[in-house]
Structure 1
Amino acid sequence: MYTYESRVRFSEVDHYETMTLPSIINYFQDGSIFQSEDIGLGVDYLKEKKRAWVLSSWQVVIERYPRIGEKIRIGTWATGFQGLYGYRNFCMWDEKGEKAAYANSIWVYMDLEKQRPARPPKEEVEKYGTEEALEMEYAPRKISLPQDALSGEIFPVRKYHIDTNEHVNNCQYVQMALEAAGEELMVRQMRAEYKKSALLHDKILPKVAKEGERTVVELCEPDGGVYAVVELTGEKRC
């Protein structure tokens, strides 16, 4: 397991003084990047090889949102590799060693030159190694869609949405979904299914549907394609 420690910053909390969902996701994402950098398979290495690990799906469960100033520890580890896919768990612990949040993720190894999935080299997979999967209730990768969804206002992809792979970062889609949901939610579980990479200046049409405790946001191309689907499960925040 790869771990690192941090402290909840003012820039990572909301007006309740608790960490935001995107901040938790960014800590997890940073952990996977830090591990890759430390074993020599980081951003520059992959860029030179014209390869990238692209996120296919997230399942993030939040037990509680850490407060400003809290010391936290983040851990991540690969749980398996199968064909074109890599599987990875994450966990965030508080100072008492109790889990605040944890996650499962599925990644696809991409050939950026050919713009298609590729099998990761054996030597790269061996550097990551694998460990036993986290005990959690694993949700399906596919998110079921409610029948009725309301279309929101179309907006463009901005420069600050873009990551080192020149497309919208996975966490930015979650931020877009939270905004499109239209109300403050105490999210207890977030699932995301990524279908197509949005690029700078692309237009995104959000479609929102509510079904019980879950809110499903489709982030679509105006002509009908889908970039990502985000499911937010929880209750309205008072």
Structure 2
Amino acid sequence: MGENIFSEPHKILFYETDRTRRTTIGMLVNILMLTSQDQSIELGLTEEKLNEKGYGWVITQHILKIERLPVYGENIRIFTRADSYNRYFCYRDFWIEDEKGTVIVKMHSIFVLMDQKKRKIARLLPEFIEPYKSEYTTKIERVPDPKIDETSQLISEKNYRVRFMDIDSNQHVNNVHYFDWMIDGLDENFLLTHTLVEMNIKYKREVHYGEMVNTETRMAENQLITYHLVKAGEEESCYACCTWGKK
């Protein structure tokens, strides 16, 4: 196992699952992200240390691939590795293994360093990167963009007001809340008869306390691909493409 791979065990708790006893997508990403946070703490790169210097990590994109969702009471092991970086982007991999050592979930994520005062992307600082022992590259990954297929059918529109508890320490909506807003656009029957296989989600604009967000949910003709858009006013904040399989 590579020296820059960090892992920790986790037991799926009841509040991390839905009525099917499977982990919700938002909680699944929370569990994965906690592992990267715990690695940072172990390396002495705590969130407080970054904040003191006026910086914070921001996610710009996740690509999630699921063989199956962990279920209530299951013991899993979560792995993460800071894979590579260039001047502005960091690329990190996550995966989950079940008790047999089978990989059941994978996620590839892109991070940027945010100057919290200017609210702009900052050039990566060696002191925040070198402890992870990731590889420097001059290349920028060409990650697929989850563009919405305008020929798909609009099936749902909903509005939400951003609450105080939706805001994280970076002073904007925690990225995981977008998952809940998006999945909420699908009806009960669909969610009971389908399971998420792949999700590509991209974040474009911060959303702040008190703002009203509008979500649009679209479905492709084959009814196994859905498109999701979150807007604050007229500005796009986040969009995603999901591929589903029938249970």
TM-score, normalization by structure 1: 0.91
Show structure 2 runs of 5+ residues with no match: 136-140
Query: RMSD of the alignment, in Å?
Result: 1.9
Deviation at 1:18, TM superposition (A): 1.8
Tell whether 2:148 aligns with 1:145: yes
Show structure 1 runs of 5+ residues with no match: 132-137
SS of 1:29 mapped into structure 2: helix
Match of 1:190 among 199, 202, 212: 199
Any conservation in 1 of the 2:147–2:240 contact (CA below 8 Å)?
no
Give 1:39-58 correspondences, 5 Å limit.
Answer: 39-58=43-62
| Aligned match of 1:203 | 212
Tell whether 2:236 aligns with 1:226: yes
Give 1:94-109 correspondences, 5 Å limit.
Answer: 94-109=98-113
Aligned-partner residue type, residue 45 of structure 1: K
Aligned-partner residue type, residue 238 of structure 2: A
CA distance in 2, matches of 1:14, 1:115: 36
Deviation at 1:4, TM superposition (A): 0.7
Give 1:70-81 correspondences, 5 Å limit.
Answer: 70-81=74-85
Aligned-partner residue type, residue 231 of structure 1: C
Report runs of 4+ in structure 1 exceeding 6 Å deviation: none
| Aligned match of 1:126 | 130
Alignment size in residue pairs? 231
| Aligned match of 1:135 | none
Aligned-partner residue type, residue 219 of structure 1: V
Aligned-partner residue type, residue 30 of structure 1: L
SS of 2:93 mapped into structure 1: strand
| Aligned match of 1:158 | 163
Deviation at 1:12, TM superposition (A): 1.1
CA distance in 2, matches of 1:16, 1:207: 25
CA distance in 2, matches of 1:114, 1:11: 37
Deviation at 1:153, TM superposition (A): 2.7
CA offsets per residue over residues 90-134 of structure 1, 9 Å max, x none? Answer: 011111111110110111111111111111211221111127xxx
Tell whether 2:23 aligns with 1:10: no
TM-score, normalization by structure 2: 0.88
SS of 1:127 mapped into structure 2: helix
Identity over aligned residues, as a percent? Answer: 27
Any conservation in 2 of the 1:181–1:217 contact (CA below 8 Å)?
no
CA distance in 1, matches of 2:79, 2:98: 12
